[in-house]
Amino acid sequence: MADLIEFGGPEASKRFCPLALPHMLKAADGEGDKDTRLQSAAAAGLGIAAQFGGKLLSRSATADAARKLAAMAQAADARCSEHADRTESAVLGIGRLLVHRMADLERAGLAAEVRARVRVRVRVRVS
């Protein structure tokens, strides 16, 4: 679905973003299904929705995605090698949110918090 949203053009984005978004948010939660590949795909998909979803991604969905991606990037097992893809996807998703949805994050009062979490995450990842 994320590929359809990203590469399918505006019409595909309008059609598939509302269908995929609830599922991506649920999978990013990690509740129930703990498959890290699914969580990684959901994190990447949320970033793609942030970039290409346009008005289809509401302010509340943006805030919810930011919280879930930040939690995923800061999970206790985020630095384990078996969860590296999930963590990278979460950080990339946060980056896309910061670039493409900064106004929504600021309105929700999350911009500073998310930026701080990303800085900390990047420093840990680099060292």
Write down the pLDDT at residue 126: 40
First to last CA, the chain: 34
pTM: 0.80
* Residue 95: partners with Cβ closer than 8 Å, 6 or more residues away: 47, 118
Domain that holds residue 44: 2-126
**Number of domains the chain contains:** 1
* Residue ranges of the chain whose pLDDT lies below 50: 120-127
